[in-house]
Amino acid sequence: MKIEMGESLIYSWLRHVRCCQIVQTNWKVSSQWPLHHEDELQTIMSTVSHAFEEMRGYQIFKKNASLKQVIQQGECDLIGYAATEGHFDVCAVDVAFHEFGLQYGSRQETVCKILAKCARTAMCLYGYMDIKGGEVLFASPKIHRSVMNDALPCIEKLNELFTTLGFSFVAKVVANDDFNQQILRPVLNLSSNVADTSELFLRSYQMLKMFE
């Protein structure tokens, strides 16, 4: 089984920092699941596609891709559920660790990939789990400034579209100093209090600390 260190870090963050009682890694859509709200999902897909094509000339989803094709590609690195007084909060996270900075091709292709992941995850949560709100995060320890300068206004626009369409999803990009301060440091700070051998990122850090 492949172990991805970024996913292990986010797993620990969701469990211990965000206090999610349930965390699912490598969540993927099954072809056997019934898909609900297809008309609304088609509206989301069309609205997002047209908005970014007009705004930046971006092709968020593959040209002529159907709703079914887009949804069936749905996968998310981690999904966490936190229950408080009978209320569930959901946090879905895609994490990417590229040593020399996030890159899925050109700068435009990289931003499109981030937007597509966030939009598709929100659509899958609604279509398969009937969830109309939650956090949809794209996390990466290093994203170049030029990519961030393009991505952040687009994420803001995506959130405006969600609100206009009647949803409460909030998409975010957590990278660079924010990744360090909001994700990495809080996990490292609680490492001495966690003794779960399945959390490989924390176990690696604990081993390193033994020799300091």
Number of Cβ within 10 Å of residue 59's Cβ equals 15
Which pLDDT does position 110 carry in this prediction? 96
The yes-or-no verdict on residue 102 having pLDDT over 90 is yes
What values do phi and psi take at 75, rounded to 5?
Answer: -155, 155
Which residues are CB-neighbours of 141 under 8 A, at least 6 positions away?
6, 97, 175, 176, 179, 180, 184
Pairing mode, if any, of strands 133-140 and 168-175? Answer: parallel
Which pLDDT does position 54 carry in this prediction? 94
| 115-169 confidence digits (pLDDT tens) | 999 999 999 999 999 999 999 999 999 999 999 999 999 999 999 999 999 999 9
Question: Which residues are bridge partners to 92 per DSSP?
Answer: 79, 136
Average pLDDT, the chain: 92
Residue reference for tokens 């961030």: 148
Q: Of the ranges 48-62, 97-111, 162-176, 192-206, which one carries the lowest mean pLDDT score?
A: 192-206
Which pLDDT does position 206 carry in this prediction? 79
The yes-or-no verdict on residue 85 having pLDDT over 90 is no
Residues in the chain: 212
* 121 token code pair: 């995850």
| 52-78 confidence digits (pLDDT tens) | 999 999 999 988 789 999 998 889 999
Which residues are CB-neighbours of 65 under 8 A, at least 6 positions away?
none
Which residues are CB-neighbours of 48 under 8 A, at least 6 positions away?
60, 61, 115, 119, 158, 161
Which pLDDT does position 8 carry in this prediction? 92
Q: Pseudo-torsion of CA 202, 175, 129, 113, nearest 10°?
A: -120
Q: How confident is the model at residue 3 (pLDDT cuts 50, 70, 90)?
A: low
